[in-house]
Amino acid sequence: MLWKHEPDVERLQQTMQGTLLEHLGLTLEGFGDDWIAVRMPVDQRTIQPYGILHGGASVALAESLGSLASALCIEDHSTHTPVGVEINANHLRPVPDGQFVIGTLSPIRIGRRMHVWNIEIRDPEDRLVCISRLTIMVVERG
C-alpha cells in the first residue's frame, strides 16, 4: 500500500471542513491501495457564467486531491507538510450545471521530498473531462 496513514473517509471528510474543499462541495468517494476518488457537484459554486464547469474548479479539485493524498504519504505531520509547486490541466469537454464530476488520483512518482500525481476528472458517463498532473514538494515545517 502507498499510504503511510490509512485513509479514513470520516477523518478526511472532517479535514475538508472550513476549507475550499468544503466550499466546492467535495466529498470522498473511495480509495484503494494507490488511488483516491472525490466527487464535486457542477453547480453555482463551480460553474462559469456560461453554465458549464469552470476550469479553475477542476484545477482546485486536482490540487486539493493531490494535497490530501500527499498528506497520507508523509510519515510525520508535525515536521513536514505537502505544498503544491506545479500543476497543469487539459480541459477536454464541458460538463453542464446540475451534473457532477469524479476526480480520481493515482501516483506517477512518490519520493521522500517530491510527489507527482495524475488526476483524471470524469463526468457521469465516465467521459474524460480534464486530465491534470500535480507536483507536490514535502517541506519541513518552519
Residues marked active site are found at 63
Neighbour count for residue 36 (Cβ, 10 Å)? 24
DSSP three-state, residue 9: helix
> Which residues 6+ apart lie within 8 Å of 19 measured at CB?
none
Buried b (16+ CB within 10 A) or exposed e, 60-86: bbbbbbbbbbbbbbbeeeeebbbebee
